[in-house]
Chain A
Amino acid sequence: MIAIVDYGAGNLVSVKKAVEWLGRECAITSDPAEVARATSIILPGVGHFASTAAIQKAGLRDVISDAIGRDVPFLGICVGMQWMFEGSQESPETAGLGLLRGECERFPESVKSPHVGWNELDVTEYSLLFHGVKSAPFVYFTHSFRAPANGTTVAYCEYGGRFSAAVERDRVFGVQFHPEKSGEIGLQVLRNFCSL
């Protein structure tokens, strides 16, 4: 069973609907015991980075950390991906999981923010997440802060500079865009994750 972690940030119906469309069993849950038993974990998220403080409060941070340690596949979406980093300028007092190096940052003044809409990705060759996806795919974004590019970046996006649109390390994945809202390409990304 795939756990879609609910920590009170936004609407998880779309993610659940997409996973079910792929024929996978999933449940929206905020119960640490259920997350601990999951075969894969998806951590969505929208809105403010400060909302991720609820992950710790609900006792989910250690459970997720432990699951990642046991090689349970993990996918962070949007703010869920940003949380995998050390923190974000959006809420300096809120600690991220710190699994990936770097801090999420604001878009420069030269571009409109939030970054909303379909943008093109520059995908690296070795990505598991993008297996079977044609080159230069378009995916749907909606966010005001972005994760820095680092050694785990497998897809870059250009908007007021290059940033991390997707990261991968072992069985840990993060996507800044919304795979549940990115048409066939997004479904393929979710399919790849759910097939691990």
Chain B
Amino acid sequence: MLTKRIIACLDVDGGRVVKGVQFENLRDAGDPAELAKAHSESGADEIVLLDISAAHERRTTLLDTVRRAAAQLFIPFTVGGGIRCLDDAASVFAAGADKISINSAALADPSLITLIAQRFGSQAVVVAIDAKRDTNGSGWKAFTRGGRTGTGRDAVVWAQEAEDRGAGEILLTSMDRDGTASGFDCELTRAVAGSVRIPVIASGGAGGAQHFEEVFRDGSADAALAASIFHYGLTSLGDLKQELRVHGIPVRWPC
């Protein structure tokens, strides 16, 4: 049976892993290459490295960090942050990434999705959507540039367009839940997962095993991503997977 994926995310700034609460108050959590390997060994099904400073500081992704992290990683490895064109993507792939994640650049120019997918395959293109519940309560809107700028675009409609243009997966972050440890936004995840055929990775709000169970069961997520709960050892990946198994969620175990 196809298992639900648990993805460990490394938010990287200046070559170090950091994790903020709602994108602010960053705290140093270590070396990306070391953490990637440690997470892989403890049972992560995939690693996502997001250069969170790149989009708004207009820096290129930390290719050296990618290279070091990829060197000892034999599970899927996604890199995002600051990829604005086909050449940016190509250099990230050359450094050892298996997939790239694009957010702001795809919203600014959706044809970029198709361009990268045609060259590297749809399986290599993850479109990241930072979604925030609309102030009037109906639906969610997509934000760009690390959550700073509203686009006015409906998150579900944008996910469908991304799929049509060749995205292989959607990485869906609830900005309302991100960093709160209060649980994934199951309603948002279900709305997007029910509208596309490609896998949806739920992100934002993981605080404990029950949150993963909820988002897989009620949110129809194919994968769920978390950062800080793994880095700071609040939840071990092994314990998380064991608990999910007990509750009947199919996971890769033992790894």
Contact = CB atoms under 8 A, between A and B. Distances in A.
A181 B2 contact: no
A118 B76 CA distance: 10
B108 interface: no
Given A18-B74, A187-B74, A119 B1 contact: yes
Given A18-B74, A142-B168, A183 B222 contact: no
A159 B4 CA distance: 14
A117 interface: yes
Interface of B: 1-5, 40, 45, 70-71, 74-76, 93-96, 98, 120-124, 168-169, 197-199, 222-223, 252, 255
B39 to A, nearest CB: 12
Contact of A46 (B1, B94, B124, B169): B124
A112 interface: yes
Contact of A117 (B71, B124, B197, B199): B199
Interface stretch (A9-17, A34-42, A57-65, A69-77): A9-17
B75 A183 contact: yes
A17 B222 contact: no
Considering residues B121, B168, B198, which has the most beta carbons from chain A within 10 angstroms of its beta carbon?
Answer: B121
B252 A138 contact: yes
B3 A119 contact: yes
Given A46-B123, A142-B168, A181 B1 contact: no
B2 A159 contact: yes
Given A112-B222, A116-B169, A118-B45, A14 B96 contact: yes
Considering residues A18, A119, A143, A158, which has the most beta carbons from chain B within 10 angstroms of its beta carbon?
Answer: A119
Contacts of B123: 46-47, 114, 116, 142-143
A17 B199 contact: no
A117 B222 contact: yes
Contact of B74 (A9, A112, A186): A186
A90 B197 CA distance: 17
9 contacts: A9-B121, A11-B98, A13-B95, A47-B120, A114-B199, A117-B199, A138-B3, A182-B75, A183-B40
Interface string A115-138: 111111000000000000000001
5 residue pairs, one from A and one from B, having the closest CB atoms: A47-B121, A46-B121, A142-B123, A138-B252, A118-B252
A120 B122 CA distance: 23
Considering residues B4, B76, B124, B168, which has the most beta carbons from chain A within 10 angstroms of its beta carbon?
Answer: B76
